[in-house]
Structures are given as structure tokens and as C-alpha cells.
Amino acid sequence: MFSKKKKIIILTIMVALLVVTGYLNIALNNNVTQPTSTTATMDFYDSYRAERESSRESSILYYEGIIADSTSSQEAKEIAETKRQELIEALETELVVEGLIKGLGFEDVVLTSTSDKLNIVIKASVEDLTATQRAQILQIIKEQTNNTADDVRIIPSN
């Protein structure tokens, strides 16, 4: 086995390594900057779009599976095709509307929709969003969708 002297040397080296590791951990963690609220806001827009896209892709694949399945009835295939097409149209509309609103000069925007309501989350503070900009956004919505101003909710988020 190990002699007492070797055990003491090994134990001393391990303690020294532990001290050095602790020091490096503290030193490196102090140099890490904290995320700002701007980063968190940008992450919201990106993560929401990613979640929305993932969910829609899953639904489209589900409908395509029904359409491709030889055991599905003709009625089920027609319903699946209609639903798939509705999802594709919703994706295209959201992309166009978000792009047009960004074209007004907003840094970022996300459109969420239900069967009868639209929510538009815009990266802007309440104070920065003017009545003219709200009117422009509503005009885009009216031109690109079948929704009225009563169906639209504009949500500034900064």
C-alpha cells in the first residue's frame, strides 16, 4: 500500500487543486456579464417564432400522414387536406404581416392569431408607439386578413 508520507503528499495536492479550482470558478464567474432586458426581449420573439413553427410543422406532418395513409377514409383525407392548407395559409399571412409591420420601422414583431382575434406584439414601448403607427398597423391587418380593428390587439413590449 501507500506509505503515510505518500498519502499526505497526495492529500495535500488534492487540497491545493481544490483551492485552485474554487479560485478559478469565482474569478471566471465574476467576468460573466448579466443578460440585459433587451436580450430577454429578443429571445422572446425568436423563441416564440421557433415554438410556433415547430408546432405548425408537427400539425402539418400529422395531416400529411392522414392524407398519405391508405387506410384513411376519403372524408378524413379531405378534412386533413383542408386543415393543412389552412395552416400553410396562416403561416404565410403571419410572415407577410410581420414583415410589413417591421417595414414600418419596428425592430421586431410577432403575430399571434386565434380563430377570430389577432394579437400583435411589437418591440416598442407604449410611449414610442404613436397613434399614426397604430393606424398603419391596423391598415396592414385589414389589407392582409379578414379581421376588423375590433379583432386586433396591439401589444407594445419593450
Q: Per-residue pLDDT for the chain (158 aa), expressed as one digit of tens each?
A: 667 887 788 878 887 877 778 777 787 777 665 555 555 555 788 888 899 989 999 999 999 999 999 998 999 999 999 999 998 988 899 999 999 999 999 989 999 887 788 999 999 888 889 999 999 999 999 999 888 889 999 999 87
Give me the sheet containing 118-122, strands edge to edge: 109-113, 118-122, 152-156
Q: Is 61 inside a domain boundary?
A: yes
Cα dihedral 72→76→78→82 (10° resolution): -130
150 φ/ψ angles, rounded to the nearest 5 degrees: -65, -25
Task: Indicate the number of domains in the chain.
Answer: 1
Domain span at 100: 38-156
Q: Is 23 inside a domain boundary?
A: no
One-letter amino acid at 157 equals: S
Q: Is 31 inside a domain boundary?
A: no
pLDDT tens across 96-116, in order?
999 999 999 998 999 988 778
Angle at 63 between CA 60 and CA 67, to 5 degrees: 130
